[in-house]
Structure 1
Amino acid sequence: MDDITYDVRVYKTDVYKGKKVTTYTVRWKVARKIWKEPFRNAAQADSFRSSLLTAACKGEAFAVKTGRPLSWEREENAITWFAFSLDYCAAKWPYASPNHRRGIAEALTDATEALLTTGKGAPAGGLLREALRAWAYSGRLQNGETDAPEHLASAVRWLERNTVDMADFAPRPAGASARAASPRPAEPSPRRLSGCRQYGDAQTSDLQQRHGVRLRAAHPACQPADPGEVDSAASGADA
């Protein structure tokens, strides 16, 4: 493939001492092109150069177009369930009735709790749900806020780091096992999921009936072929 290469060489960092600042420039070659990345801090330059060396030594492919390891591009382009759900909620907000908005907020809160990747360092359950239900999926949009209230800020930052990637919902390739293709949320725990005490189809059905919102990927028991689809049924939500 012409767009990737394993022909990579990382050079010694260039140091330029100006009158006011010193610039540390990392230089490396991918295929036939020389790439440069300047830094004001020596430690940052060393860290960047070490990352390039590690990728090259591991035999990773580099993108000819960007000069960077393909693994970096995947990380940069990754979107988490939490980020996706914020965008979805914002897109639906202007067109939804008050009852419909509440239904969407409750359903997304339930889904997000089921799609956490870990319980380590998690905020208390009540605080987590407040950060989701009262701010991320409601107050943020209603009040045009960009920053969470002080008492919820740490919970929101934790959520930004600890929900599954949307790539985990991609359709599994032929021959792949269901276990390998399913998303990897945290080990199931008896969280409150809108009063539903069972996971899987029962959970999805409960959400459909109570909120008029269809959550295809709210739990690993659901089919991963429908990637995080959250479709609203306005007539049900407004009933």
Structure 2
Amino acid sequence: MNTTYDVKFGEIQQRPDRKTAAFIVRWTVARRPKSKSFRTKGLASSFLSDLRQAARLGEAFDVATGLPASMLAPESSGPSFLEFAQSYVLGRWRSSAARTRETDAYALLSLIPALAAEVPGRPDAMILREALRAHALLPADRRADLGSVQAVALHWAEKASLPLSALGEARVLRMALDAISVTFAGKEAGANTVRRKRAILHHLLEQAVEQKVFTSNPLNEIKWAPPRAVTVVDPRTVVNPAQAKKLLDAVPKVGRKRGPRLKALFACVYYAALRPEEAADLRLNDCTLPRSGWGQIILERARPQATKRWTNSGETHESRSLKHRAHKETREIPIPPVLVAILREHIETYGTAKDGRLFRTASDGSYSSSAHSYVWQEARKLALTPAQVESSLAARPYDLRHAAVSLWLNAGVPATEVAKRAGHSVDVLLRVYAKCLDGQQDHINGKINSALDE
């Protein structure tokens, strides 16, 4: 390593034209200019302070990287963060759902580039992310061949990645937290996104504790409050029964094939509170559909959509166990006569797929979430007033499920029964739907008045 003591520091500069990485630390090492950009002035000041402290202590600076010996990635027998991140993803692969795999990788696409030393030749961020997504964070038999530019980017990441042990330092962990707090475009990330990525980082470090890299999870030592996420259903999204019927009646009017084929699926989301991916995998054998009276659905599988590279089958839709349920565990849902009639009509008109699925394209495929969304938005335009269309009322097909659960609760169905039918725990049910329990305020106020009059 070529080192020198010839180091000079400049002041922190700000580029007002940049939304991110707007604060720049500049210094020279052996008269060679060096710079590093940060999103906040506090991070830039901390980094410059570390450089100056190293110089005051008489440390030599590496001419190539511009960093003092104490800030270089040390020779370590332990894994780099990139290596450990790869083992983390692959270790969870077999037992994880496709969406979980994708969520894990999405968090690591933020963390891996941030937890890297200032090695010369840092590649374009988009190119590096694609190399990680298409190659490094996949099992060996799924990895795409990299182009020369992507291969160079991945080689840089392998060389620059900080040792996993470096995450024991508060400064490094704050770099990680800063990275997950912004989108790839540099804008402030949504609260739920930040919380999910932070949870993945925490779980990764828990595994590092298991492997004796740390004695305790270093993330627990950092005083950092994640942004508050909305965890309750907004009652403004919930339709009443009359509005729900108008929306469902409008669905078949959308398009020549999609709308008519999707009405019964949306009806399952509303009348049985199925998640859209649960309705997508509903099969004839799951249904009891008498000619009169109530029927029943015994739900066993769901058919979520994910990117092909993350699924076991290599297809975008893949049948799997119900959310938060054991393999082959079922959920029994009584369904009202109106839904029984809709399903019977759908089956008489369109039949079923070869595997018994009720909802399919003309070629036996599954409709994508974008197809669901398009049909739903067009139906909203037909069924709702212009002001309602612009509002959040039933903005997504999933809001039909919220409407169903809210209706059941307000009708006086015991929370335990509602939770059983909807596939929730009781505590989650009451917390998520707390603001949708309308119609009880007068009753509660009457009780308070009675107490005050005593």
**Is the TM value for this pair above 0.5?**
no
> Which of the two has greater helix per residue?
2
Which protein, 1 or 2, shows the higher relative CO under an 8 Å CA cutoff with sep ≥ 6?
A: 1
> What TM-score bracket applies, with the shorter chain setting the length?
0.3 to 0.5
Larger radius of gyration: 2
Which structure's residues are more often strand, by fraction?
1
Length-normalised TM-score, structure 2:
0.25
